[in-house]
Amino acid sequence: MNTSDAPGHYALFPTELGICGIAWRDGHVISTNLPEPSEAEIRDRLVRRSGGAEPGTPPQWVRQAIDAITALLAGNPNDLAFIPCDYGQADDFRVKIYQLTRTIPPGETTTYGDIAERLGNKRFAQAVGQAMGHNPLPIIVPCHRVMGANGKLTGFSANGGIETKLRMLDIERAAIGAEAGLFGHLPLAIKPK
């Protein structure tokens, strides 16, 4: 699904989570990045994932994507489905996984198994998990909204791991697990253990 061999451009931008990054080419976002320990690490990852993107000034459509991402990470339940994406070297199966993941609304979660079922076979759950671990477009492809069986938190490949995943879900006020319990309306950071 790669639209071009041109390297494209990237930009960094501030969010509630910290500095994030976005790379684009030929009218499509080709990579996004959550905060890393340093801006240099964000730039390096964007350049590597994009095949050599260079710094650039975001065109209007990328600016709109950045604004929507920034608002989402500030707690506004923005739908990022309008952002055109190029999934790079992902095969058709992974592209389907990413497209299904993009349909999960802010504030909601699903499981690897549920996505696998939507793909036609519950046994694809492990493949769904592997695709999430290689997601080139975190935030736009909201892999943080995908859980293990029964809402179990599993690994998260972004810097900060599960803590970052929980923070993102907390910003979105997402319920984790089947139903919210007695303290389900409270932010994750202050729920009783």
Q: What is the pLDDT along the chain (193 residues), one digit of tens a residue?
A: 444 567 799 999 999 999 999 999 999 999 999 999 999 999 999 999 898 999 999 999 999 999 999 999 999 998 999 999 999 889 999 999 999 999 999 999 999 999 999 999 999 999 999 999 999 999 999 999 999 887 777 777 788 888 888 999 999 988 775 444 445 544 444 444 4
For the question of residue 20 being annotated catalytic, the response is no
Among 20, 85, 132, 143, the one annotated catalytic: 143
Quote the pLDDT of residue 5: 63
Distance CA 51, CA 30 (A): 10
Q: Where are the alpha helices (DSSP H) in the chain?
A: 39-50, 60-72, 92-101, 112-119, 125-133, 161-171
- Give the model's pLDDT for residue 4: 53
Report yes or no: 158 and 138 within 8 Å, Cβ to Cβ.
Answer: yes
Structure token digits, residue 157? 């490949």
Confidence (pLDDT) at 174: 87
The predicted model scores a pTM of 0.85
The predicted structure's pLDDT at residue 39: 96
User: Among 27, 64, 30, which Cα is nearest to 47's?
Assistant: 30
